[in-house]
Structure 1
């Protein structure tokens, strides 16, 4: 159940946000202590993300997050893996705080999934933009932000969403033209969920994200403004369709006329055997 390579690199691998019955989502290694060369340990962990538990007290958990090559600062998926790990060990309550990179994030356990508070989402109409170079004509376009503006674009069906391979430079130019840093493509066609989406961010330093809590938060706000979320049901499920890595994210929110407030995003975390790292 745990993976050993040296006394200081003892860690436990988790798969976070995976869509049910898939090997999608994100792989995260949880280190129970922050000792020694953290960057070297993250480089040898065998997962894209490593989270080190620096301290746990009555206020919550203090974490450090690394990729194999750099100090990432903060990561919701890493925090969710650490929260599952600490709660299973009886070290935290089901309502707590997480500290990462000098910021504090309230967290709560809901239906077996940890959710982190994203705050409020503001939504506005998008300026006119040309989508022809991306190969589609959108059904609706909005700008949604929790501090970082994202372009939310509706496509007609799931097949259109899954078939797209948009050019990174075209996405960059679209972001610059609309004053946004990320592109969310979505459709309401979503098996056993409320919405299907993909998240692109060349202006943020990545092409496509397998599971983006910030972009899902923005999408929930955009859908809320259009009245497209379930009435009288504060829980929303989203399926993220990065090819080969399907993910499912959960949102809780309060609908507001201009977006969504008190929005929390999270998902599942599954403990892996070392062999599962290759999934």
Structure 2
């Protein structure tokens, strides 16, 4: 008889806007019996773009984080970190946490909101490295985004936080909403230049409010509901221009309004950003590797999700 492995999985809506929307993200305790192929399957099975696997330290004040999409492991994921902090807060009541990924350690903090349902979560990134985009990077990305000559704006930059991604400005929210990129072509461009994706953003208003869309077809995410690490990169870029704090709206074209905040500061090692958002654990499901398709079952508000090893 084969022993089944069952695991509770929290589906967290990360980077909510006024209590709505947010990016659905799967968060579960890691298990050494999971293969990476199983980890890659979990986002699709649960209808999320990403899954976060926690290795929780004794006492609950720290955790190792691994991030997966359907195409493989990522070195970092900002909204996934926000989602992980929401789950850790539900277990511990919140506070300060030490978080570790395969590439770095960093501090996170989460505080339950007064109604007890949502959590405000922030974390500090490592140094953000910025450079100007090369002419081939800019030209081919413009073509993939289907920019017309009047859409193009100056100062396209490439930012590295984990992996490089391109920051592309547009004139305003109407131009941003009208974008219909050629995703196959954009994937080829990102693969050619080793980019995580392309983050298209508006200029901030006088209050530091902006909007953005993140296209990352190379990692299996045609458009991300919320991308906190790319927002951190934008915060670092704008910090150099005298804008110390931003709030970026995302997800509207996907019907899931999201907002990510970022505040930059300069350190001896470079520009670092405190980035975050509000999050809520929407539901808990049970992961069972005995079958290969999710189905509803059990008590109200729960589900059984089965994945073959």
TM-score for both structures, normalised by structure 2: 0.68
Q: Give how far 1:246 is off.
A: 2.7
Q: Aligned-pair RMSD on alpha carbons?
A: 3.9
1:94 aligns with 2:99: no
In 2 relative to 1, CA 94–169 (structure 1 residues): closer, same or farther, beyond 3 Å? same
Report the equivalent of 1:200. 215
Per mean C-alpha deviation after superposition, the further-off stretch among 136-145 and 157-166 is 136-145
Give the counterpart of 1:215 among 204, 227, 230: 230
| 1:186-210: CA deviation from partner (whole Å, max 9, x where unpaired) | 1136798611111123455543222
1:27 aligns with 2:24: yes
In 2 relative to 1, CA 60–166 (structure 1 residues): closer, same or farther, beyond 3 Å? same
Check whether the contact 1:182–1:202 (CA below 8 A) recurs between aligned residues: yes
Check whether the contact 2:190–2:197 (CA below 8 A) recurs between aligned residues: yes
SS of the residue 1:216 aligns to: helix
Q: How does 1:186-265 map to 2 (within 5 A)?
A: 186-188=201-203, 194-227=209-242, 229=243, 234-241=244-251, 243-244=253-254, 245-254=256-265, 261-265=271-275
Per mean C-alpha deviation after superposition, the further-off stretch among 168-177 and 125-134 is 168-177
In 2 relative to 1, CA 79–225 (structure 1 residues): closer, same or farther, beyond 3 Å? closer
Per mean C-alpha deviation after superposition, the further-off stretch among 234-243 and 61-70 is 61-70
Q: Which runs of 5+ in 1 are unaligned?
A: 1-5
Q: Distance in 1 between matches of 2:227 and 2:212?
A: 10
Q: Give how far 1:7 is off.
A: 7.7
Q: Give how far 1:149 is off.
A: 3.1
In 2 relative to 1, CA 205–243 (structure 1 residues): closer, same or farther, beyond 3 Å? same
Report the equivalent of 1:138. 152
| 1:147-200: CA deviation from partner (whole Å, max 9, x where unpaired) | 533332221110110111111244356658988553221113679861111112
Report the equivalent of 1:184. 199
Q: How many aligned residue pairs are there?
A: 263
In 2 relative to 1, CA 252–168 (structure 1 residues): closer, same or farther, beyond 3 Å? same
In 2 relative to 1, CA 269–225 (structure 1 residues): closer, same or farther, beyond 3 Å? same
SS of the residue 2:237 aligns to: helix
Give the counterpart of 1:150 among 156, 165, 182: 165
TM-score for both structures, normalised by structure 1: 0.74
Q: Which runs of 5+ in 2 are unaligned?
A: 114-118, 285-300, 304-309
| 1:191-242: CA deviation from partner (whole Å, max 9, x where unpaired) | 9861111112345554322222221122112222333x2xxxx432111246
Q: Distance in 2 between matches of 1:69 and 1:199?
A: 17
Q: Distance in 2 between matches of 1:75 and 1:169?
A: 23
